[in-house]
Amino acid sequence: MSTLTREGRAAGESRAQPRSGDRLSDQHDQQPPDEGATPPGGRPDDAALEEMGNPHHGRAVKDAAARVVMWGAFGAVIVPLVWILYTVVSHGVNLLLSSTWWTNNQRNINSGDTGGGARHAIEGTLMMAGVTAVIAVPIGILTAVYLVEYGRGPLARAISFTVDILSGIPSIVAALFVYAVWVTTFGIERSGFAAALSLVLLMIPVIVRSTEAMLLLVPNELREAAYALGVPKWVTVVKVVLRTAFSGIVTGVLLGLARIMGETAPLLILAPYTKNFQRDLLHGNFPTLPMMINQDRGDIGFATAAERMWGAALTLILLVLLLNVIGRVIARAGSAKT
C-alpha cells in the first residue's frame, strides 16, 4: 500500500520550483555572452536602444526587478520578525531565567514589586487550549470528514458556507456572542470555560478547512482499493483516509491551537485575570498569559511590570513554539509508511 502523504507532495513541489527557477537564471546568465550585449555601463544610447529592441535584454531587466522585489518582500517580512523576536527576548529573558518564574504565581506581587512567576498563567493557557482542543478537534475533523466523504447536495453546501462565515468572524464578535448567551441570557458567571467556548468558535473553522484540504489530497485509488477488498465505507474512512491524512490533520490542529493561544479579546470579555492559581475552569477568574501581558501593560510605568510583560510575552512565544515542535514529532511519527 503506497501512501503518498501531503508532506511528500508538498516537498516534491517545493523542490521542483527552485529547480525551474535555477534553470531560468542559468539561461539568463548564459545569454549576455551569446548575444554579445554591451557590458553594463557602456554606451547609454546603445543600451537604451537595445533594451527596447532586444527582448532578451528586457527579460533580464524584468528578472532583476522581480528579484529585487522578491528579496524586498522577503526582507519586509523577516525584518519585523527578527526585530520582534530580538525585542521580546532581550527584554524578557532575564525573568525566564529567574528561579521562581516557572514555579510561582503572582499572588501578593503588586505592580511595583519584583518576584513571583508565571506558572499560573502558563497552566491556565495550556488548560484553556486543551479544553478548547478537546471540544473543537472532534467537531472540526468530523465536519471535514462529512464534507469530503459523505456530504452531497444542499446540506453540505450550507455547512461549507457556514464554516466560511465562521472563519471570517472576528474574535471579539465570537466573545460577545458567548457573553450574550452565557452571561446575559443564562446569567452564568464569566469563567475560563466560557472563554474556551468562544475559542472553540474560532478554532473549528481552522480545523475544518485544513482537515478538508488534507482529506481531498488522499488519492481516490486508495478508497477504491479498500472498497474492492470489501471494506465498509466507515472503516475505509477511519483506517485508510484519516490515517493517510494524519500528519496533515495534526498540523492543522496545531495551527488552530497556535491561533487561539495568543487570542486576547475573548479573555478580556469572558475570563478576567487572576494572580492566583486557578484550576477550576467553571468558577472564578482565570489566569492566562495574554491577560498577564495585558495586566502588566497597564502598569508599564513600573520597570518591574514592564519586565513581567516581556517575560510573559516570551513565555507565550516559547509555548507556541514548543507546541509546534511536539506537533512535528507526532506528525512525523504518524506519517511513517508501512
Partner 1 sequence: MSATRTTVRSAFGVLALSGALLLSSCASENNTPGGSADNASQAGSTGNTGNTGNTDCFSGNLKAEGSSAQKNAIDEAISVFQTKCADATIDYNPSGSGSGIKQFIAKQVDFAGSDSALKTVAVDGLVEADDAAKACGSPAWNLPMVTGPIAVAYNVAGVDKLVLNAEVTAQIFDGRITTWNDPAIAKLNAGVKLPATPIKVYFRSDDSGTTENFTKYLKSAAPDAWSYETGKKWTGKGEGKEKSAGVATAVKGQDGGITYVELSYARQNRLQMAQIDTGSGPVVLNAESVGKTVATAKPTGSGNDLALKIDYATQESGAYPIILVTYEVVCSTYADPAQGAKVKAFLTTFASDAVQGQLEELGYAPLPTAVASKVQTAVKAIS
The four Cα atoms 170, 176, 178, 181 give a dihedral, to 10 degrees, of -140
Shorter beta-carbon distance to partner 1: residue 151 or 272: 272
Ranges within 293-322 binding partner 1 (CB under 8 A): 297-304
* Closer residue to partner 1 (CB): 160 or 285: 285
Question: Which residue in 143, 198, 211, 274 binds partner 1 (CB under 8 A)?
Answer: 274
Pick one of 37, 118, 122, 202: the residue that binds partner 1 (CB under 8 A).
122
What is the rounded distance in angstroms from the CA atom of residue 132 to the CA atom of residue 201? Answer: 9
Residue from 272, 317, 318, 324 touching partner 1 (CB under 8 A): that is: 272
How many angstroms separate the CA atoms of 255 and 43, rounded? 55
CB of 200 to partner 1, least distance (A): 20
Stretches 13-21, 136-144, 227-235, 270-278: which one binds partner 1 (CB under 8 A)? 270-278
Q: Rule CB under 8 A: choose which of 113, 164, 221, 224 binds partner 1.
A: 113
Kindly state whether residue 273 participates in binding partner 1, applying the rule CB under 8 A.
yes
Residues 6+ apart with CB under 8 A from 154: none
Supply φ then ψ for residue 95, to 5 degrees: -65, -35
- Please state at what angle helix 55-97 crosses helix 303-334, rounded to 10 degrees: 120
229 binds partner 1 (CB under 8 A): no
Which span (45-53, 119-127, 160-168, 226-234) binds partner 1, by CB under 8 A? 119-127
Q: Which is nearer to partner 1, 27 or 114 (CB)?
A: 114
- Per CB under 8 A, contacts with partner 1 among 19-78 are none
Q: Is 6 in the site for partner 1 (CB under 8 A)?
A: no
According to the binding rule CB under 8 A, does residue 134 interact with partner 1? no
> In the structure grid, which three cell numbers stand for residue 134, read together?
478537546
Report CA-CA distances (Å) from 26 to 17, 61, 281.
14, 15, 61
If 0-12 CB within 10 Å is exposed, 13-18 middle and 19+ buried, where does residue 159 land?
Answer: middle
Q: Are 210 and 255 in contact (CB under 8 A)?
A: yes
Amino acid at 72: G
Supply 284's cell numbers.
472564578
Residue 274 CB partners (closer than 8 Å, separation 6+): 120, 284, 285, 286, 287
List the x/- string, 186-225, binding to partner 1 by CB under 8 A. -x-xx-----------------------------------
Report the nearest approach of partner 1 to the CB of residue 148 (Å): 22
Q: Minimum distance from CB of 28 to partner 1 (Å)?
A: 46
Site map for partner 1, 164-193, x if CB under 8 A?
-------------------xx--x-xx---
Residue of 253, 257, 223 lying closest to 241 (CA atoms): 223
> Is 146 an interacting residue with respect to partner 1 (CB under 8 A)?
no
Q: Is 284 in the site for partner 1 (CB under 8 A)?
A: yes
User: Which of the stretches 29-37, 53-61, 195-203, 274-282 binds partner 1 when contact is defined by CB under 8 A?
Assistant: 274-282
Q: What is the per-residue DSSP string for 242-284?
A: HHHTHHHHHHHHHHHHHHHHT--HHHHHH----SS----SSSS
Contact 222, 91 (CB under 8 A): no
User: Which CB sits closer to partner 1, 42 or 115?
Assistant: 115
* 112 touches partner 1 (CB under 8 A): yes
CA-based radius of gyration for the chain: 27
Residue 42 DSSP one-character state = S
Could you give the count of Cα atoms lying within 13 Å of 159 in the half-sphere of its Cβ? 19
Enumerate binding residues for partner 1 (CB under 8 A): 100, 103-117, 119, 122-123, 126, 183-184, 187, 189-190, 272-277, 284-285, 297-304, 326, 329-330, 333-334, 336-338
